[in-house]
């Protein structure tokens, strides 16, 4: 089964569920971390690529100085529309754009930021070259990626649980895409191929993902990510069964009440 299109399809009800379920579950702490790093060397012009539903955009609008211009882009119009609808503390420029072919002039920005988006790029070196192209001399490219799935316990548990629902062809989106680009030497090689001559600086950041019940992360992953597309491609009638299996596995591992799991990501910064 060719999964490449489904892996990048954030459409239908996924943007709303992504924002209400996934963002508070795993994305908010890393958005605060990323923007804190950005604010340590305040830029004047920031480009965000793969902005999704705007969790980093909202942090930048709230924490960066009012004079900092923010352009937030995403390939998926439905995700960007939802981000714009949620809104920000001050105006930002929302623009649909492909990270592999950015519609901006050379040296237009002091910083390019991307939260958990580079894993989805079909040609990462080309996307990195585009980020470098639009950066001014001395500008910074700052992004994060999830560590391997075993270090991210909710995602790992959900992936394992779905093997029991589809034993002949288990949905492996979470391991393949969000958690499939964690090797730091590969990232450094792709950055070099994209034209970055400086050695990237990396930090591994551990955090905790918490939810009121095991059902919440099961719904988040099975309904609010492209994992849903993978499940429905196998059998749309089994989406509820898949979500139930994930919830049961999460409850078995983390308890029937409030749940708490480890999450871990790499943060990468490289200067032009």
Domains and CATH numbers, the chain: 4-271 (3.40.50.150)
Q: Which residues of 34-70 are buried (b: 16+ CB within 10 A; e: fewer)?
A: bbebbeeeebebbbbbbbbbbbbbbbbbeebeeebeb
Per-residue pLDDT for 1 more than 80?
A: no
pLDDT at 259 over 60: yes
Span 18-38, average pLDDT:
94
Do 76 and 97 contact (CB within 8 A), yes or no? Answer: no
pLDDT at position 13, please? 58
Of the chain, the percentage scoring pLDDT greater than 70 comes to 95
**Residue 4: what pLDDT?**
54
231-237 mean pLDDT: 96
- Give the tokens for residue 143: 């992004």
Rounded to an integer, the average pLDDT of 82-93 is: 94
Q: For residue 47, give every residue at least 6 positions away whose Cβ sits within 8 Å of its Cβ, in sequence order, or none.
A: 71, 73, 102, 104, 108, 109, 111, 112, 113, 134
- Asked if residues 214 and 198 have their Cβ atoms less than 8 Å apart, the reply is no
Q: H/E element holding 270?
A: strand 259-271
- Residue 41 has a pLDDT of 87
Q: What is the pLDDT of residue 252?
A: 98
pLDDT of residue 128: 98
| 12: confidence class by pLDDT, cuts 50, 70, 90 | low
Q: Against a cut of 0.85, is the pTM above it?
A: yes
Mean pLDDT of the residues in the chain: 94
pLDDT in tens, 128-161: 999 999 999 999 999 999 999 999 999 999 999 9
Q: How confident is the model at residue 17 (pLDDT cuts 50, 70, 90)?
A: confident
CA atoms of 228 and 225, how far apart (whole Å): 6
Rounded mean pLDDT, 52-69:
95
The three-state secondary structure class of 64 is coil
91 in Cβ contact with 72 (< 8 Å): no
Greatest CA separation found in the chain?
A: 55
Residue 18: predicted pLDDT: 84
Q: d(Cα 159, Cα 167) in Å, to the nearest integer?
A: 12
| 162-171, Cβ contacts within 8 angstroms, sequence gap of 24 or more | 162/231, 162/242, 162/245, 162/246, 164/245, 165/238, 165/241, 165/242, 165/245, 166/231, 166/234, 166/235, 166/238, 166/242, 169/1, 169/234, 171/227, 171/230, 171/231, 171/234, 171/242
Is the predicted pLDDT of residue 55 greater than 70, yes or no? yes
Q: Check pLDDT > 90 for residue 14.
A: no
Q: How far apart are CA 265 and CA 182, in angstroms?
A: 8
- Give per-residue pLDDT as tens, 121-133: 999 999 999 999 9
By the 8 A CB rule, do 271 and 140 touch?
yes
pLDDT, tens only, 95-117: 999 999 999 999 999 999 999 99
pLDDT at residue 42, as a whole number = 87
* Whether pLDDT at 165 is above 80: yes
């Amino acid at each position: 089964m060719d999964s490449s299109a489904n892996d990048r399809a954030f459409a239908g009800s996924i943007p709303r569920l992504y924002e209400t379920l996934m963002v508070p579950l795993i994305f908010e702490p890393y958005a605060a971390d990323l923007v804190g790093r950005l604010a340590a060397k305040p830029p004047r012009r920031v480009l965000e690529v793969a902005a999704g539903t705007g969790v980093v955009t909202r942090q930048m609008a709230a924490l960066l100085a009012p004079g900092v211009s923010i352009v937030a882009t995403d390939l998926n119009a439905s995700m960007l529309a939802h981000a714009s609808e949620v809104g920000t503390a001050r105006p930002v420029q929302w623009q649909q754009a492909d990270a592999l072919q950015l519609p901006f002039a050379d040296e237009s920005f002091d910083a390019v930021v991307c939260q958990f988006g580079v894993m989805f790029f079909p040609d990462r070196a080309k996307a990195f070259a585009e980020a470098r192209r639009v950066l001014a001399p001395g500008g910074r490219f700052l992004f994060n990626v999830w560590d391997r799935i075993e270090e991210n316990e909710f995602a790992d548990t959900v992936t394992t649980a779905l093997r029991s629902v589809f034993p002949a062809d288990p949905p492996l989106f979470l391991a393949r895409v969000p958690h499939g680009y964690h090797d730091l030497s590969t990232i450094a090689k792709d950055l070099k191929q994209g034209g970055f001559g400086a050695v990237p600086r990396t930090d591994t950041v551990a955090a905790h993902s918490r939810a009121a019940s095991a059902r919440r992360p099961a719904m988040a992953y099975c309904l609010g990510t492209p994992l849903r597309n993978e499940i429905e491609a196998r059998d749309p009638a089994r989406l509820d069964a898949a979500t139930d299996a994930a919830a049961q596995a999460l409850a078995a591992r983390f308890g029937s009440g409030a749940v708490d799991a480890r999450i871990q990501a790499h943060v990468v910064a490289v200067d032009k």
